[in-house]
Chain A
Amino acid sequence: MSTQAGYQLSHLDELEAESIHIFREVVAEFEKPVLMFSGGKDSIVMLRLAEKAFYPARVPFPVLQVDTGYDFPEVIETRDRWVERLGVRLIIASVEQAIKDGIVVDDGKTSRNRLQIGTLLHVIEEEGFTAAFGGGRRDEEKARAKERVYSHRDEFGQWDPKNQRPELWSLYNGRIHEGEHMRIFPLSNWTELDIWSYIGREQIEIPSIYFAHNRRVFERDGMLLSESDHNPLRNAEEVKERQVRFRTVGDLTLTGCLESSASTVEEIIEEVAISRVTERGATRGDDRFSEAAMEDRKKEGYF
């Protein structure tokens, strides 16, 4: 503990205590929880908090990843190490397979991130999950600022922002009907800086692509994208080698990186502290189309 005298927790300890409380509450009250794992730093911090909440017992729920088919290999490697160390069950829901099975439709215009929605909802329904932990934070985007920690989804997996349940004190209401489920956001009150500070403090292993490395990249729509077979070059696009890092790790055809020499958590914290562009605004192609883009996707059941 960082503060003994004065009985005042540091902000990270208080956030940690709140998140652990949420994990335990969900496991006590829901029959079939699952943790939605993107491979990114937020979902890894979630796993770490879950590990703490139930230690020395095992994390008592499986981890679900939606495989877009366009994931960074570094992210998969880190995921596998975490899953092995914690001994949790990993469920992989493949977008590719969902397309083949006709569960989602790839019309060539819809991004993989959006196809994840249908794939995800299908798995939740198939497996009968009643609660799904997501790594969303309220500081990420305006539309998230009003989202509850327990976010109710109807039988179509939809979120109704006008009709959210009031959430008071730390008394969470986990009532759902047959076929419905609850999205749970244990990191609601964390900011990007809190996440990084915690990763630094706890020395949490995250995918290497968050740190500065040399990569062959090209520019598209003002973003630096990674060279890849999934990312065929369009006319006049040119590959060059740069020292870069990623601020979010999603679908590699849409997730941009930035030029950076920050190779340690401390250097990243410094960069984040002075950076003047939001995580999503900078490097997520799928959020940039309109200010209300996020809100629309959330209503449909995006995590």
Chain B
Amino acid sequence: MDEQMDLLRFATAGSVDDGKSTLIGRLLLDSKAIFEDQLASVEATSKSRGYDYTDLALLTDGLRSEREQGITIDVAYRYFATPRRKFIIADTPGHVQYTRNMVTGASTADLGLVLVDARQGMTEQSRRHAVLLSLLRVPHLVLAVNKMDLVDYDEEVYNQIHRDFTAFTSKLTVPDLTIIPISALQGDNVVTRSDKMPWYEGPSLLHHLEHVYVASDRDLVDTRFPVQYVVRPKSDKWHDYRGYAGRVAGGVMKKGDEVMVLPSGLTSRIAGIDLFDKEIDEAYPPMSVSVRLEDDLDVSRGDMICRPKNAPTPSQDIDAMVSWMVPEPMRVKRKLAIKHTTRTARALVKNIQYRLDINTLHRDQDTHELGLNEIGRVQLRTTQPLLCDPYATNRDTGSFILIDEATGVTVGAGMIN
């Protein structure tokens, strides 16, 4: 194995029948992530259903109930690797009634892959997929124009979709857009470039996925270290050891750095950064490390280590876009638990400012609640200050989940403005 392989997480979205399962099946198959016994079972099923081809889509659908209904209704994670990269696919259902699943899949994605059928071009669904990926600040977007074989690999079809989609996404926050004409079924431009579309000069889909540059997507400037746990060995050898364990959410931390701990505001310097039994020179996202400080401060879970001149402002008033995930609607005055970084508090819904129509981007100001799969701008008041950044600058310190205190269920996800 090549030690220098890195990791790319991407989320896929497509309307039913755009060919998403076929495409994923092909990526898995061509990268040898599919095994003989899986392929044999899919071949047998295809045959028993009277298909004259192997339905690669069968490789990916999960639970039996969904198999029976013939649709995918939850986020499923799939894995494949090439010598350059390991890939984690968050395979999400595309229909509007599964918006929450798409939000979930997109939350961890470095890249979003939207599929359209070349014969239909851009649809309300594909617009919505782009809107959600942009709302979740997925840094890279790929539009795969699928079924090019059914439009005779016509350049003009591709160009029209290219124009439409580029015009639409110019209104959104899409830092990096790539549009690739493919045939998932025939394999054109999926793994290797196809000779059927000589007019297309860009990379194949897999080549793009392998090479898209993601190292600079995370915030490497603003130091953010939410303390997760305090490591205090109760042994003679490590009597005085006190390490603040956590995952770097932003910035590059080094020994000797002057730091400030929030919410206390006390300052100290980094005495050392440990990764297991080794002291390391620097720590950056998303590393899990233990930080030791020069001074004996009172630091505990929920605190945040940052720099004295670059710290989030603690606030109890949170203004955020919230994606609502359960049938019982979100209403003003409702009390919920909120989990933000490693801090948990309670939150009161003060105001629902508007509901965003994710198809038209229209803001409906007359609303007083958010229903299942709806997204809106909301103001919350929390019992404790949260140490937050705008989601647009940091996806880790700018996000939270809302939990129903009675049922324990995750009812909403928020992105701080």
Contact = CB atoms under 8 A, between A and B. Distances in A.
Contacts of A55: 231, 274, 276-277
B77 A193 contact: no
B345 interface: no
Interface string A9-32: 111111111101100110110000
B241 interface: yes
B215 A189 contact: no
A24 B63 contact: no
B3 interface: yes
B177 to A, nearest CB: 22
A278 B76 contact: no
Most buried by B among A17, A171, A292: A171
Nearest to B45: A291
Interface residues on B, range: 35 or more
B116 interface: no
Contacts of A177: 408
Given A18-B286, A142-B62, A175-B408, A1 B280 contact: yes
B147 interface: no
B383 interface: no
Given A146-B63, A171-B400, A24 B245 contact: yes
Contacts of B218: 7
Contact of B104 (A13, A167, A275): A167
A186 to B, nearest CB: 11
B313 interface: no
A173 B401 contact: yes
Interface stretch (A70-78, A109-117, A157-165): A157-165
Interface in B259-311: 274-277, 280-282, 284, 286-288, 301
A191 interface: yes
Interface in A104-146: 138-139, 142-143, 145-146
A52 B289 CA distance: 9
Nearest to B39: A276
B163 interface: no
Contact of A173 (B62, B281, B403): B403
A285 to B, nearest CB: 14
Interface stretch (B78-86, B189-197, B200-208, B346-354): B78-86
A57 B36 contact: no
A56 B79 contact: no
B7 A15 contact: yes
Contacts of A300: none
Interface string A168-195: 1111010111000000000011010110
Contacts of A269: 1
Contacts, number: 195
Given A28-B342, A168-B399, A281-B35, A17 B247 contact: yes
A282 B189 CA distance: 33
B1 A17 contact: no
Nearest to B228: A24
A293 to B, nearest CB: 10
A166 interface: yes
Interface stretch (B167-175, B178-186, B232-240, B359-367): B232-240
Given A21-B247, A57-B233, A292-B64, A191 B81 contact: yes
B410 A170 contact: no
Contacts of A20: 247, 288
Contacts of B3: 2, 10, 12, 201
A10 B6 contact: yes
B37 A278 contact: yes
Contacts of B76: 145-146
A162 B68 CA distance: 14
A202 B6 CA distance: 18
A20 B287 CA distance: 9
B118 interface: no
B35 A278 contact: yes
A230 interface: no
Contact of B77 (A165, A188, A201): A188
A162 B35 contact: no
B379 to A, nearest CB: 20
A9 B286 CA distance: 8
Contacts of B246: 24
A25 B35 CA distance: 34
A28 B37 CA distance: 41
A277 B277 CA distance: 38
A273 B214 CA distance: 26
A273 B35 CA distance: 11
Nearest to B9: A189
Nearest to B326: A166
B339 A171 contact: yes
B413 A166 contact: yes
A6 interface: yes
Interface string B83-102: 00110100100000000110
Given A1-B275, A53-B245, 19 more contacts: A1-B280, A7-B220, A10-B6, A14-B7, A20-B247, A24-B228, A24-B246, A55-B231, A57-B233, A139-B78, A139-B79, A143-B64, A145-B77, A170-B247, A175-B409, A189-B88, A197-B1, A277-B35, A281-B38
25 contacts: A10-B3, A12-B5, A15-B7, A20-B247, A27-B229, A28-B228, A53-B288, A54-B231, A57-B235, A142-B61, A142-B62, A146-B62, A146-B63, A146-B77, A161-B63, A167-B104, A168-B108, A169-B399, A171-B399, A171-B400, A173-B401, A173-B403, A175-B337, A189-B77, A278-B37
Interface of B: 1, 3-7, 32-33, 35-38, 41, 60-65, 74-79, 81, 85-86, 88, 91, 100-101, 103-104, 107-108, 214-215, 218, 220, 228-229, 231-235, 237-238, 241, 245-247, 252, 274-277, 280-282, 284, 286-288, 301, 325, 337, 339-340, 342, 395-396, 399-401, 403, 408-410, 413
Closest 6 A-B residue pairs measured CB to CB?
Answer: A175-B408, A281-B37, A8-B215, A57-B233, A20-B288, A276-B36
